[in-house]
Amino acid sequence: MRKPIGGANELNSMMSNANVTTTTMKMRKGLWSPEEDEKLMNYMITNGQGCWSDIARNAGLQRCGKSCRLRWINYLRPDVKRGAFSPQEEELIVHLHSLLGNRWSQIATRLPGRTDNEIKNFWNSTVKKRLKKSSSNSSSPNTSLDSSSSEHRDIMGGLMSMQDSSTFAAMYMDSSQRSSTSSSLQAIYMNQTMERLPLTGDHGPNMPILNASCYGTPQVGMDDNEISYQGCYQIFGGDLGLEDEMFNIPPLENMTNNNSTQGIKRENLDDTNNSMIITNNMNQCYNKVQAITEGFENCWEGEDELKVEEWDFEELMRESSMFPSFD
């Protein structure tokens, strides 16, 4: 619906105004111009992440560090997935929200490529209203979002049944739901980043190693042994129990029952499943990276690049249903 902010004349005039005020060193506010984006992007490419105040200063931006951080995390970061939320993501958000409440950052860690801000906005603008509408239509007085109840599924009205995980995953990867906002900048970033990525490791032939995570931001100072594939697995909400050093998966923090949380993965995923999930997700990482090298746009457009099994949402939802609820 809404077009991405880009080369609006207004922004250029804002930049001009900003330049006028440079002498006063007054921090700029408001929308970011393409020039500012480029400055920040270039700086991040060259120097990587650091103290945001320094970044703002050294990149030649009249922005506070906070603003730079926000812009990077929510918009410029190459792993940010843009575009509409799929029904599956929506269901996952609703489900996770029923478990975690307004802990957007924690929800976001389980939706690779989505930012807490994006999820929060999506929730406030769309899901909340839909749930309200659904609950008002419901004859039952119980409007809580207990994920285990049939009510929960009713509230999901209009959403696809989770029984069909194939459709689920296919729709999740629907390229039509992705925009190419900022893709040129991302392409620049990723192409430059890829050139610096080591393409070695014990993860299969030609399996690239990504710093920090496949969906994360390359970080200066990490060696190969510190690299994790966190982003690929984080939505599983626990420790897979395999190669702990490599597969660093954050648990659902602050759960009221940590014992059950910790035990879920090992109890419910046998080694075969573990291997399959890891392999599939690593393949996804590899495919994604490969796509990136061929041009960022293609990353989301290739129909066959991201396979259905790679995101076993049925499994995910089943597992997250087993987590204890919050009060």
Single out the residue of 40, 43, 67, 96 in contact with DNA (rule: CB under 7 A): 67
Residue 197 is given by DSSP the state: S
Applying CB under 7 A, among 15, 35, 45, 126 the residue interacting with DNA is 126
**Neighbouring C-alpha atoms within 13 Å toward the C-beta of 158:** 8
Counting contacts by CB under 7 A, is residue 138 touching DNA? no
Cβ proximity to DNA, 82 vs 110, nearer residue: 82
Which residue's structure tokens are 């626990």? 238
Shorter beta-carbon distance to DNA: residue 123 or 286: 123
In whole angstroms, the minimum distance from the beta carbon of 187 to DNA comes to: 17
User: 52 or 276, CB closer to DNA?
Assistant: 52
Tell the burial category of 77 from Cβ atoms under 10 Å away from its Cβ (0-12, 13-18, 19+): buried
Q: What whole-number distance in Å separates Cα of residue 84 and Cα of residue 16? A: 33
Distances in Å between the alpha carbon of 222 and those of 9, 112, 278? 41, 21, 22
Q: What does the per-residue mask of binding to DNA show for 164-203, with x meaning CB under 7 A?
A: -----------------x----------------------
E strands in 119-214: none
> How many residues of this chain bind DNA (CB under 7 A)?
44
Q: How far apart are CA 220 and CA 100, in angstroms?
A: 32
Is 3 among the residues that bind DNA (CB under 7 A)?
Answer: yes
**DSSP conformation class of 260:** H
- Distance CA(234)–CA(216), nearest Å, equals 11
d(CA 295, CA 65): 30
The radius of gyration computed from the CA coordinates of the chain, to the nearest angstrom, equals: 21
- As measured in angstroms, the least distance from the Cβ of 217 to DNA is 10
- Candidate residues 117, 177, 273, 293; the one interacting with DNA per rule CB under 7 A: 117
Cβ at position 11, least distance to DNA in Å: 8
The verdict on 5 binding DNA (CB under 7 A) reads: yes
Rounded to a whole number of angstroms, the minimum distance from the CB of residue 177 to DNA is: 10
Out of 35, 45, 74, 138, name the contact with DNA by CB under 7 A.
74
Distance CA 173, CA 128 (A): 24
Binding mask 6-25 for DNA (x = CB under 7 A): --x-x---------------
Three-state DSSP at 6 gives coil
Determine the Cα–Cα distance for residues 181 and 34; give it in Å rounded to an integer. 12
Q: In this structure, which amino acid lies at residue 161?
A: S
**C-alpha of 169 from chain center:** 16
CB of 104 to DNA, least distance (A): 4
Question: Among 118, 239, 310, 319, which residue interacts with DNA (rule: CB under 7 A)?
Answer: 118
Q: Is 239 in the site for DNA (CB under 7 A)?
A: no
- Give the chain's length: 327
Q: Which amino acid is at 102?
A: N
CB of 81 to DNA, least distance (A): 11
Minimum distance between the CB of residue 134 and DNA, rounded to whole angstroms? 14
Pattern 77-116, DNA, x by CB under 7 A:
-----x-x-----------------xxxxx---------x
> Phi and psi (nearest 5°) for 209?
-105, 125
- One of 38, 45, 65, 154 touching DNA (CB under 7 A): 65
**Contacting positions for DNA (CB under 7 A):** 1-5, 8, 10, 28-32, 50-54, 63, 65-67, 69-71, 74-75, 82, 84, 102-106, 116-118, 120-122, 124-126, 129, 181
